Amino acid sequence: MRTNTRAPNRWRLVAPLLVLLLQCGCWDKIELEDVAFVTTMGFDRGEIPGHLDVTLEIMNAQKATVALGNATQNEPRATNITLKNTTPLMVKDLANGVITRRINISQVQAFLISEKLARTVDLYSVLASTFRDPEMRRETPIIVTRERAETFIANNVPRFETLIYQFYRYKLNRWRDTGIVPLSNMNDFLRAHAAERPYLFIYATTEHRRPPHQGQNDEVIAGEMEVEGGDPVEMIGAAVVDRGKMIGTLTGEETRLVLLLGAKLRVASYYMIFHDPNDPQFMISTRIKNENPARIRIDTRRDPMTIDVEVPLYVEVLSIPSKIDYVTDLKLQKQLIASIKTQMNEKTEQLVRKAQRQWRIDLFDWERFARRQFWTWDAWQRYDFRRRIPEARVHVRYRIEMLDFGKQLRPDERGVPLRGID
């Protein structure tokens, strides 16, 4: 069978050339300056049901280069286009009615969805129509805005970032640590949606309103922070979406608790304040680190099932305005620990009650841990975790692994409690 003899000579030379020549296509070629890059896409409910208002924010690339002289001084740094009553992908062509260049959405930094749209229309159907486009990227963050997305985009002019993409990047990079907003993106949403799990979206707004209560710190949703100055955007809290529709909001602190209890907040460090157990008018500021995720044990054999969550916390007490000596006095320390636990438990119980009673959903994504106890997909489907979760018995236990007092040994520089001097 060995007939692998010499080939005709000419073919040896012609074949690679042929490959080369056949490549003279250039169908998909684009010149870079011919492309308009969309930074942000906003979706609002259209006036006609089933249609959307789509807003595109397009960057002016010339603003990125510094030394180009003053030719671009007078150009705006971005331009916004809103197309009414259309579909998300139609705009790629339609927008060229008012803009010169080819629209490219591969660099979209965030999708904005207005709360009104999220509450009334199945979000999956809105987003699904976009992610079939090859330019769409699954890691793109999704943000739910309190006002119309169009307004949000128009208002969002950050002070320091000339190009708007930097704004989203810096902002999200920061939130990654603190957990007061969930990092929601397209891929995670699709993953959750396919498994029929609820999903948390970032909640943001540019419209400030008077907060209903004062002194809430991070126990607020976007738009209700007590803040002056800074960028126009407030981004805190989460929008809860279940079965494609938004069903409620979470405050910043609640969001963090959800992530904490679902073991989603990995190595993070953030500040929290607690009431001083011995002098409730003062607040104790602490920095919490959770180096280990929460341990979640779910017993599905019981009916109703039990869910035990054990959260290890590493607490660093940073300021004790009451000047009570928690540092050296072990007894007081115990009180402090007990108080921190109680306060955490209270908040947690409220949240769990809200999830189980009010929304009747698996807000904390405990489903992922319950699945481990099943061998096959059929058994899991038969169990119907979603139906059983509202009745589940949930026990959350915080374990303060370590209490630390920062760089200072005593609460007061003088080393004597303030009260002793009086």
Partner 1 sequence: MRSKNPIIEHRDDLVRSLRQKKASQPRTPIPKRLQAITAELEKRLKLTESSDFRRRALTYGRRPAAVFYFHGIADEELVEHGVIEPLSRPTSGRKLDPLSDRRLHALTVEALTALEDVENALVDGQPVLAIDGFRRVYAFHLDQFPVRPIDRVSNESVLKGPQEGFTEQLETNMALLRRYLRSPDLVIRRRQLGRLKRTGVAVAYLKSVANPNLVADIEKRLDAVEALEYDAVASVEQFLEERPYSLLPSMLTTERPDRAAAHLLEGHVVIIQDNMPYAYIAPATYWNLFHSSEDHYQRLPYSWFMRFIRTVAFFLTLLTPGVYIAATNYHVEMIPIDLLMAISGSRETVPFPAVLEVFLMEFSFELIREASVRIPSQIGPTIGIVGALILGQAAVQANIISPIMVIVVAITGLASFTQPDLSFNLALRISRFFFLFAGATLGFLGIALLLAAALAYLVSFKSFGVGFFTPWAPYVPSSHDVFLRRPLPAETTMPKTALPQAETKVDKSRYFALFPRLGARRAAKGRRP
Partner 2 sequence: MRFGLSREQPSERGTNPSTDDLIGQRELMAVAFFLLVVKGADSTTTFLLSFGGNAGWLSVFVYFAYMLPFLWLVTRTLAAREGLNLIALSEETFGVPATKAMMSILLVLGFAATILNMRPYAFLLEVMFYAKTPATVIYVLLIATSGYLAYLGLETIGRVASLLLPYALLSFGLLFLGVYDILDYDEIFPFFGRGWPLLTGPLAHLGIVVDMLYLAVFLDRVKGGTRTYWNGMLSGSGIAAVSAAVLLWMYVTAFGYPAASGTLYPFQQLTRLAHFGWYINHVEAAFLGIWVLASVVHFAVYIYTIVYLFQYVVGAGDFFRLIVPTLGILFVAGFYPYRSFILQYTYRAWVVYALTATVFPFVIALAVAVRYRFRRSRGHRRAD
Rule CB under 8 A: say whether 190 interacts with partner 2: yes
Rule CB under 8 A: say whether 73 interacts with partner 2: no
- Which residue, 4 or 70, is less far from partner 2 as judged by CB? 4
- Which residue, 282 or 380, is less far from partner 2 as judged by CB? 380
Selected binder of partner 1 within 1, 2, 3, 19 (CB under 8 A): 19
Rule CB under 8 A: say whether 6 interacts with partner 2: yes
Selected binder of partner 2 within 118, 127, 192, 272 (CB under 8 A): 192
Where in 102-131 is the site for partner 2 (CB under 8 A)?
106
Q: Residue 269 Cβ, how far from partner 2 at the closest point, in Å? A: 18
Token pair of 105, please? 């959405």
Selected binder of partner 1 within 79, 80, 85, 107 (CB under 8 A): 107
Rule CB under 8 A: say whether 371 interacts with partner 2: yes
Q: Residue 29 Cβ, how far from partner 2 at the closest point, in Å? A: 9
Q: Residue 27 Cβ, how far from partner 1 at the closest point, in Å? A: 9
Selected binder of partner 1 within 3, 4, 5, 9 (CB under 8 A): 9
Q: Residue 404 Cβ, how far from partner 1 at the closest point, in Å? A: 39
Q: How many CB atoms lie within 10 A of CB 329?
A: 13
CA–CA dist 213, 219 (Å, integer): 10
Rule CB under 8 A: say whether 23 interacts with partner 2: yes
Residues 6+ apart with CB under 8 A from 118: 144, 201, 239, 241, 245, 246
CA–CA dist 246, 181 (Å, integer): 16
What does 409 bind: partner 1, partner 2, none (CB cut-off 5 to 8 Å by kind)? none
Rule CB under 8 A: say whether 104 interacts with partner 1: yes
Pairing type for strands 52-59 and 35-45 reads antiparallel
- Which residue, 163 or 337, is less far from partner 1 as judged by CB? 163
What does 61 bind: partner 1, partner 2, none (CB cut-off 5 to 8 Å by kind)? partner 1
Are 33 and 60 in contact by the 8 Å Cβ rule? The answer is no
Rule CB under 8 A: say whether 384 interacts with partner 2: no
Binding pattern to partner 2, positions 136-165, x when CB under 8 A? -xxx--------------------------
User: For the chain, how many residues are written?
Assistant: 422
Rule CB under 8 A: say whether 295 interacts with partner 2: no
CA–CA dist 398, 341 (Å, integer): 6
Where on the chain is the footprint of partner 2 (CB under 8 A)? 1-8, 11, 15-16, 18-19, 22-23, 25, 27-28, 106, 134, 137-139, 169, 173, 187-188, 190-195, 368-369, 371-372, 374-380
Where on the chain is the footprint of partner 1 (CB under 8 A)? 9-10, 12-13, 15-16, 19-20, 23-26, 28-33, 35, 37, 59, 61-65, 68, 71, 104, 106-107, 109, 135, 137, 163, 165
